[in-house]
Each structure stands twice: as C-alpha cells, then as structure tokens.
Amino acid sequence: MAIDLQKRRPILANITGGLSGPAIKPVALRMVWQVSQAMAVPIIGIGGIMSATDALEFILAGATAVQVGTANFLDPSAAQTIAAGIEDYLAKNGIADVKELIGALKI
C-alpha cells in the first residue's frame, strides 16, 4: 500500500496492491530453484530482479530466462543495463554462453 499525502488517497487503484520488486525476490528465487529440481521445464525467473547479480542468481537457480519488471519503473534502461552486466560477468569469468550457468548452483 502507498498513500498520496497531498490527496490523502491510496496511490494504487486497488488500494493495497501486491508484493513485488525486491521484497519478493527471496521467495521467487526459492520457487525457481524448487521447480528446477522437480522437473525439466523452461523457467522464467520473475520477482525483484534489479541488477545483473539478481538475474544471475535466478539463472544459477535454474531459470532459463528472466523478466525485469519493477526496475523498469525506476530506470527505463534497466533491462539493457542488466544484460550488459551479465555479459560483463561472463567475460570476466571466461564463460562462453550464459546457458552454461542455468541450474549451475553448487549445493
């Protein structure tokens, strides 16, 4: 929930909204990992991806792709920045293809 102090009204149309952005990331990350352990299906990691580090965590947990949502409201070029950060990580770590990281979480 968010309140406009000037109007003294809820900012969101449905008043309370839902849980999203960085607050949901730990739960979403766990769910991606659990699904990837249970079955071999493509998984799109969604929830709290604000940086390349966040995206890479989802990929390591088993996501085959990620979606950037809330970060786009803060920075319209967030997706491009995140993609560039992933490319930088791959280059610095001698990884030829991001596919090498899918589900590569070491437990």
For 45-68, the pLDDT digits (tens) are: 999 999 999 999 999 999 999 999
Q: What is the pLDDT of residue 21?
A: 83
* Residue type present at position 31: M
Is 65 within 8 Å of 45 (Cβ atoms)?
Answer: yes
Residue 84: C-alpha distances to residues 8, 32, 87, 88, 107 (Å): 41, 23, 5, 6, 27
Report domain extents, the chain.
Answer: 19-101
19 pLDDT higher than 90: no
Q: Which CATH class is domain 19-101?
A: alpha beta
Q: What is the pLDDT of residue 100?
A: 97
pTM for the whole thing? 0.86
Q: What is the pLDDT of residue 87?
A: 98
